[in-house]
Amino acid sequence: MDRYAVLGNPIGHSLSPEIHRRFAEQTGQTLQYVALEVPLDGFPEFVADLRAEGFRGMNVTVPFKQEAFALSESLSDRARAAGAVNTLIRTDTGWRGENTDGAGLVRDLTRNLGLALRQHRLLLLGAGGAARGVVQPLLAEQPALLHIANRTTEKARQLVASFPGEKRLAHSGLDGPFHAPYDLIINATAASLEGVAPAIPDGLLAKGGAIYDMMYSDRPTAFIEWGRGQGAAIAADGLGMLVEQAAESFHLWRGVRPDTRAVLTAMRPGGQPSS
Ligand code: ATR
């Protein structure tokens, strides 16, 4: 049976095995997908062992996406732009590195949540690996503005500077200066892991605007609560992004595209879509 895995540390909470099990069932594919915790100092050796065991592909999560990038023999354009790899595809001679995170985010925003990005004003919070991975896919949707705000202003400046000549990008610290109002505010910081929302001022969200937390939790994150308090018309967490990036990986490995909507509905507590 073809074998796949998600690699991370920690990995205990991963929903990926359940998502891929549902995809396989739905599309009639026979495969096995497991979550494996990798020692922090042993990623390349671990991947080499899985290769020897015949694994066909891997998803890679925190904190190994840069290491997966480094060991990839070839890279897709979007993996190169992200500087990170979340999907490894076995080839005859090594691994091809892909990044499906940005596509997953954009599909969830536009297809599942019905948000328009073209000519809209976006605020992206964070300038770490998670933020970097979604900048180019968001720009490809032709927003009027993509403002990147980060706690450490210099990292936001560097991220914007890595897209030379891109006039739709702006940057600042979390205290501004901003160019409000924003139609959509996306949280790509690790603040939700600490149970807090990034410390941005009130009043940045446009009337009828949306907020999106790239993190998923079975309870509303602090950022979701913040967004509701700001009157967001839509406040969604990252479950849809997780399912959509998984579907992109599944498609790369298996050549079939699962119906994400059915899986998302089945996995959402109470069967509710994002709200
Ligand atoms: P990831 O791969 O999840 O993006 P990372 O590269 O370590 O992880 O980046 C973490 C991001 O979350 C950074 O943008 C970080 O801000 P700094 O660059 O100033 O460190 C941000 N972050 C972490 N904790 C935060 C908090 N409590 N409030 C706001 N931003 C936070």
Q: Is residue 203 part of a domain?
A: yes
Regarding whether 136 and 226 lie in a shared domain, the answer is: yes
Counting from 1 in the atom list of ligand 1, the atom nearest the Cα of 84 is 2
Q: Identify the CATH number of the domain in which residue 231 sits.
A: 3.40.50.720
Ligand 1 mean position, distance from CA 235 (Å): 21
Q: Is residue 108 part of a domain?
A: no
Regarding whether 233 and 176 lie in a shared domain, the answer is: yes
Q: Does 155 sit in the ligand 1 pocket, CB within 6 Å? A: yes
Regarding whether 199 and 225 lie in a shared domain, the answer is: yes
Q: Is residue 107 part of a domain?
A: no
Nearest CA to ligand 1 atom 13: 128
Q: Does 127 sit in the ligand 1 pocket, CB within 6 Å? A: yes
Regarding whether 54 and 93 lie in a shared domain, the answer is: yes
Regarding whether 158 and 255 lie in a shared domain, the answer is: no
**CB of 195 closer than 8 Å to CB of 222:** yes
pTM: 0.95
Cα gap 80→73, rounded to integer Å: 12
Q: What is the pLDDT of residues 37-54, one digit of tens each?
A: 999 999 999 999 999 999
Q: Identify the CATH number of the domain in which residue 245 sits.
A: 3.40.50.10860
Q: Is 65 a catalytic residue?
A: yes
Q: Is residue 106 part of a domain?
A: no
**CB of 229 closer than 8 Å to CB of 198:** no
Cα gap 123→220, rounded to integer Å: 20
Regarding whether 185 and 216 lie in a shared domain, the answer is: yes
**Residue segments in the chain with a per-residue pLDDT below the cut of 50:** 272-275
Query: Ligand 1: which of 152, 189, 194, 196 to mutate, judged by most atoms within 8 Å of the beta carbon?
Result: 189
Domain carrying residue 49: 2-99+240-271
Q: Does 126 sit in the ligand 1 pocket, CB within 6 Å? A: yes
Ligand 1 mean position, distance from CA 106 (Å): 21
Ligand 1 mean position, distance from CA 155 (Å): 10
Ligand 1 mean position, distance from CA 6 (Å): 23
Nearest CA to ligand 1 atom 2: 129
At residue 273, the pLDDT reads: 46
Domain count, the chain: 2
Regarding whether 223 and 125 lie in a shared domain, the answer is: yes
Q: Is residue 110 part of a domain?
A: no
Gap between the terminal Cα atoms of the chain: 38
Q: Does 194 sit in the ligand 1 pocket, CB within 6 Å? A: yes
Regarding whether 74 and 121 lie in a shared domain, the answer is: no
Counting from 1 in the atom list of ligand 1, the atom nearest the Cα of 151 is 19
CA angle 46–50–53, rounded 5-degree value: 145
Regarding whether 223 and 209 lie in a shared domain, the answer is: yes
Q: Is residue 105 part of a domain?
A: no
At residue 192, the pLDDT reads: 87
Q: Does 82 sit in the ligand 1 pocket, CB within 6 Å? A: no
Regarding whether 122 and 91 lie in a shared domain, the answer is: no
**CB of 75 closer than 8 Å to CB of 106:** no
Regarding whether 210 and 173 lie in a shared domain, the answer is: yes
